[in-house]
Amino acid sequence: MKRHITALFLILLFGIFCVFITINGKSKAVLDVITPTKIKIDTKDGNETICIENVEAFSLEPTEEFFNKYSKELSLSKSDIISLGYLTQEYAQKTLQNQKVSLHLIGKITQECDYGTVKLNGIDYKSLINNSGFGLENGKPFDIDKFKKNLETARKLNLVILNHRSGKYHTLTCPFGNTAHDKIIIPQKQLPKNAKPCKFCHEQKPKKFKLKKGVDIVKLPQIPQPALTLSDGDIKVLYTDFTKQLKPNNLCQVNVCRELVNTINSAQSTLDIAIYGYQEVPAITLALTKAKNRGVQIRFVYDKYFDTTRGYYKNNDIIINLATNHISDKTANQTSSNMIMHNKFLIVDNKKVFTGSMNISPTGLSGYDVNDVVIINSKEIAQLYTKEFEQMLNGKFHKQKDKLNLPNKFILGSSEVEIYFSPKDKTATRVTQIIRNAKHYIYIPTFLITHKDIADELIGAKQRQVDVRIIIDANSTNTRNTKHALLRQNGILLKTENFAGKLHSKTMIIDDEYLVIGSMNFSNSGENKNDENTVIIKNQKLTKAHKDFFLYLWTMIPNKYLKQNARAESPESIGSCSDGVDNNFNGKIDKQEAACQ
pLDDT of residue 182: 56
**Distances in whole angstroms, Cα of residue 251 to Cα of each of 40, 113, 280, 496, 534:** 12, 9, 11, 28, 28
**What number is the average pLDDT over the span 450-456?**
97
Q: What is the DSSP string of 463-520?
A: HTT-EEEEEE-GGGGGSTT--HHHHHHTT-EEEE--BSS-B--B-EEETTTEEEEES-
Q: Are strands 140-141 and 344-348 parallel, antiparallel or unpaired?
A: unpaired
Least confident window among 85-94, 122-131, 184-193, 505-514:
184-193
* Structural domain includes residue 393: yes
Give me the amino acid identity at 534: T
Same-domain pairing of 196 and 235: no
Same-domain pairing of 377 and 432: yes
Same-domain pairing of 408 and 425: yes
CA 187 to chain centre: 31
**What number is the average pLDDT over the span 74-98?**
87
Report whether pLDDT(260) > 80. yes
Least confident window among 19-28, 77-86, 411-420:
19-28
Report whether pLDDT(24) > 80. no
CATH number, domain with residue 151: 2.40.50.90
pLDDT of residue 401: 95
Say how many residues make up the chain. Answer: 597
Q: Max Cα separation, the chain? A: 108
User: Rounded distance, CA 376 to CA 174, Å?
Assistant: 41
**What number is the average pLDDT over the span 260-283?**
96
Local confidence band at 158 (pLDDT 50, 70, 90 cut-offs): confident
Bridge partners, residue 469, by sequence: 443, 493
* Structural domain includes residue 567: no
Q: Quick check: 360 and 260 in contact, CB under 8 A?
A: yes
Same-domain pairing of 180 and 135: no
pLDDT of residue 240: 96
* Structural domain includes residue 245: yes
Number of H helices, E strands in the chain: 17, 29
- Pick the most confident of 88-97, 178-187, 297-306, 482-491: 482-491
With pLDDT > 70 as the criterion, what percentage of the chain qualifies? 87
Average pLDDT, the chain: 87
pLDDT of residue 159: 87
* Structural domain includes residue 553: yes
Report whether pLDDT(415) > 60. yes
Q: What is the 3-state secondary structure (H, E, C) of 14-73?
A: HHHHHHHHHHHHHEEEEEEEEECCEEEEEECCEEEEEEECCCEECCCCCCHHHHHHHHHH
Q: Are strands 38-43 and 114-120 parallel, antiparallel or unpaired?
A: unpaired
Flag whether the pTM goes above 0.75: no
CATH number, domain with residue 256: 3.30.870.10
CA nearest neighbour of 177 among 211, 202, 153, 156:
202
Q: Quick check: 220 and 399 in contact, CB under 8 A?
A: no
* Structural domain includes residue 406: yes
Report whether pLDDT(441) > 50. yes
* Structural domain includes residue 516: yes
Burial of 330 (0-12, 13-18, 19+ CB in 10 A): buried
CA nearest neighbour of 443 among 451, 434, 452, 223:
434
Same-domain pairing of 78 and 176: no
Same-domain pairing of 64 and 184: no
CA nearest neighbour of 443 among 549, 592, 556, 353:
549
Residue 540 backbone dihedrals phi, psi, to 5 degrees: -65, -40
Local confidence band at 195 (pLDDT 50, 70, 90 cut-offs): confident
H helix or E strand, kind and range, residue 421? strand 415-422
Start-to-end Cα distance in the chain: 72
Same-domain pairing of 198 and 244: no
Local confidence band at 283 (pLDDT 50, 70, 90 cut-offs): very high
Say how many domains are in the chain: 3
Q: Give the contacts of 9 (CB within 8 A, at least 6 positions apart).
A: none
What's the helix, strand, coil split of the chain in %, to 5?
35, 25, 40
pLDDT of residue 369: 97
CA nearest neighbour of 589 among 244, 575, 314:
575
Local confidence band at 72 (pLDDT 50, 70, 90 cut-offs): confident
Least confident window among 34-48, 138-152, 504-518:
34-48
Same-domain pairing of 171 and 308: no
pLDDT of residue 9: 52
* Structural domain includes residue 435: yes
pLDDT of residue 21: 38
Report whether pLDDT(479) > 80. yes
Same-domain pairing of 89 and 183: no
Give me the amino acid identity at 518: G
Least confident window among 59-73, 267-281, 415-429, 516-530:
59-73
Same-domain pairing of 189 and 307: no
CA 555 to chain centre: 18
* Structural domain includes residue 595: no
Report whether pLDDT(299) > 60. yes
pLDDT of residue 335: 54
Local confidence band at 334 (pLDDT 50, 70, 90 cut-offs): low
Least confident window among 1-15, 19-33, 349-363, 549-563:
1-15
Residue 420 backbone dihedrals phi, psi, to 5 degrees: -130, 140
The alpha-carbon radius of gyration of the chain (Å, integer) is 28
**What number is the average pLDDT over the span 410-423?**
97
Q: What is the DSSP string of 516-574?
A: EEES--BSHHHHHTSBEEEEEEE-HHHHHHHHHHHHHHHHHS-GGGGTS---SSSTTSB
**What number is the average pLDDT over the span 559-587?**
91
Give me the amino acid identity at 201: C
Same-domain pairing of 234 and 344: yes
pLDDT of residue 45: 54
pLDDT of residue 196: 84
Report whether pLDDT(222) > 70. no
Domain of 30, in residue numbers:
26-156
CA 220 to chain centre: 24
**What number is the average pLDDT over the span 297-311?**
79
pLDDT tens digits, 37-46: 988 887 655 5
**108 vs 497, higher pLDDT:** 497
Residue 57 backbone dihedrals phi, psi, to 5 degrees: -155, 165
Bridge partners, residue 232, by sequence: 235
pLDDT of residue 394: 96
DSSP state of 122: T
Q: Is 553 left (phi over 0), alpha (psi -120 to 50) or beta?
A: alpha
Long-range contacts of 171-179 (CB under 8 A, 24+ apart): 171/79, 171/198, 171/201, 171/202, 172/78, 172/79, 172/82, 172/83, 173/78, 173/79, 173/201, 174/198, 174/200, 174/201, 175/200, 175/221, 175/222, 176/200, 176/201, 176/221, 176/222, 177/201, 179/222, 179/556
User: Rounded distance, CA 527 to CA 422, Å?
Assistant: 5
Sheet with 467-472, side-by-side order of all strands: 409-412, 415-422, 532-538, 514-518, 508-510, 441-446, 467-472, 493-496
Least confident window among 58-62, 241-245, 455-459, 577-581:
58-62
Same-domain pairing of 353 and 475: yes
